[in-house]
A and B are shown apart, each in its own frame.
Chain A
Amino acid sequence: MLFEQIAKNKRKTIVLFVGFFLFMGVVGAALGYYLLSAWIPGVVIALITGIVYAGYMFSQSTDVVMSMNHAQEITNADQAPDLWHIVEDMALVANVPMPRVFIIDDPSPNAFATGNDPEHAAVAATSGILSVLTREELEGVMAHEMTHVRNYDIRLQTIAVAMTSAIAMLANFGTHFWYFGGNRRNNDKEGNIIAMIASILVLVLAPIAATLVQLAISRNREFLADAGAVELTRNPQGLIQALNKISNSEPMSDENVSPESAALYISNPLQTKKLTNLFSTHPPMSERIAALEKM
């Protein structure tokens, strides 16, 4: 079960990489055609940028994601004894190395895990979660995060975050240039218009596709991590109470959370109550709690 999950995640990571480079290529071609009237340089530039970016993200993902979310690292138990010891306990029982620990200064209770693999993992908790939850509840939350670490969910999700940020950036860049107009030396009007429409279409569709990828990646994973957490703590009540408290709290401040990494959190940090199911990165809390109550 665990190993299947890990293998599946590794496969998906590869698919994600291939998909990302294809996507970068297409977007590059569109931009290149539009700006320089030649698609090949666009593709080359996009792929080189993509490789450099992916390499950078792969080696620095934890630090990048943590700074995107304004998280401060703590390096010894005295800075937050309860959190530190609970993370230690959960890493022990999940049989993964102790991850790095970060705190986000935000009154809304929430937490996430990130990193490339269990050896280079990190967990972050908001200051809110530390003051609102009891020990058993926080254990449930950290066990949930440790399950993400152990399953290699963190690698897949972190790469998805990096890639959607890149695509969003690229699309922004593209639309920006579109306003100022591209290269108009091309006399082949008809071809130009078709290419233009195609470019615009790609640029508009890119962020939507990126969001859909994140949705597909994160929703089921939360159910699995909840189940894994109970396997570690043997205490479904702790996690149920924690999820209840978290879902009844105010969302996190926009300054702290980057929208691209919202999918990493145990509960959507930006969720407004009106938001419907369809485009939410997280399954509804009521369904998760119902699933836990059956355990």
Chain B
Amino acid sequence: MIGWIIFGVIVVIILLWIGIYNGLVQARMRTQESWSQIDVQLKRRNDLIPNLVETVKGSAKFEQGTLEKVVGLRNAITQTPTNDHQKTMELSDQLTNGLKSIFAVAESYPDLRASNQYNKLMEELSNTENKIAYSRQLFNTTTANYNTKLQSFPTNLVAKVHSFKPSEFLETPAEEREVTKVSFDENGL
């Protein structure tokens, strides 16, 4: 009788352990998935930039180095290893600012503003910027969920035994803390 009780307890513990382990794997997977969401958007922006540079180069005068800096940041992002999240996002924020300054200059050239290609690019870039901001927020949400699991009982025991590592939050740049959205044109929409 006592043997059976002990057997039952062990079976229950093993089942619980498996459940918790799978829960942790799933939570970790969610953080990785949400990082790949960011990655998709960064890639999309990287693909748009050469196009943008081509479009504005001929029709507007920029300060020395503005365009080169944007292209340089773009290349730096492609070369940053995908698992270096902080570095990637730092470069991405600088790139966002670089793009803002390009659009600020381009605003004063009526020819550009009338061009379909330029408007289309601007729309796509601002759409991508929004998605970067939102996917970054999603990443932080999934990271918070995962990290909470790592720290709460009894999940922390399982996590320790199988050495699950906490996921790092992405820091939001100071000026974006209030509203995460970026809009290149003044009217909002």
Knowing A85-B130, A92-B138, A93-B137 are in contact, say whether A135-B183 is a contact too (CB < 8 A): yes
Taking CB atoms, residues of chain A closer than 8 Å to B181 are 135-136, 139, 235
Among A81, A82, A90, A93, the most chain B Cβ lie within 10 Å of the Cβ of A93
CB of A93 within 8 A of CB of B123, answer no
CB of B137 within 8 A of CB of A82, answer no
Any A CB within 8 A of the CB of B127: yes
Knowing A81-B123, A85-B130, A135-B183 are in contact, say whether A92-B135 is a contact too (CB < 8 A): yes
Q: How far is the CB of A292 from chain B (nearest CB, A)?
A: 16
- B:94-147 near A, CB below 8 Å: 123, 127, 130-131, 134-135, 137-138, 141-142
Chief secondary structure at chain A's binding surface: helix
Knowing A92-B134, A92-B135 are in contact, say whether A135-B127 is a contact too (CB < 8 A): no
Any A CB within 8 A of the CB of B2: no
Q: How far is the CB of A107 from chain B (nearest CB, A)?
A: 18
Q: How far is the CB of A149 from chain B (nearest CB, A)?
A: 15
Taking CB atoms, residues of chain A closer than 8 Å to B37 are 92
Any B CB within 8 A of the CB of A89: yes
CB of A136 within 8 A of CB of B188, answer yes
Q: How many residues of A sit at the interface, in one of the four size bands?
A: 10 to 19
CB of B189 within 8 A of CB of A95, answer no
Closest B residue by C-beta to A94: B138
Taking CB atoms, residues of chain A closer than 8 Å to B123 are 81
CB of B183 within 8 A of CB of A234, answer no
Q: How far is the CB of A231 from chain B (nearest CB, A)?
A: 9
Flag A61-105 by CB within 8 Å of B: 1 or 0 each: 000000000000000000001100100111011010000000000
CB of A234 within 8 A of CB of B127, answer no
CB of A93 within 8 A of CB of B189, answer no
Taking CB atoms, residues of chain A closer than 8 Å to B142 are 95
- The CA-CA distance from A89 to B138 in the complex, in Å, is 11
Any A CB within 8 A of the CB of B161: no
Selected from B30, B131, B138, B188, the residue in CB contact (under 8 A) with A135 is: B188
CB of A82 within 8 A of CB of B189, answer yes
Q: How far is the CB of A95 from chain B (nearest CB, A)?
A: 6
Among B130, B142, B183, the most chain A Cβ lie within 10 Å of the Cβ of B130
Taking CB atoms, residues of chain B closer than 8 Å to A60 are none
Taking CB atoms, residues of chain B closer than 8 Å to A93 are 134-135, 137-138
CB of A135 within 8 A of CB of B134, answer no
- The CA-CA distance from A88 to B44 in the complex, in Å, is 15
14 A-B contact pairs sorted by A residue (CB < 8 Å): A85-B130, A88-B131, A92-B138, A93-B137, A95-B142, A134-B189, A135-B181, A135-B183, A135-B188, A135-B189, A136-B188, A139-B181, A234-B179, A235-B181
A-B contacts besides A89-B131, A92-B131, A93-B134, 13 pairs, CB < 8 Å: A81-B123, A82-B189, A89-B134, A90-B134, A92-B37, A92-B135, A93-B137, A95-B138, A135-B181, A138-B189, A139-B181, A234-B179, A235-B179
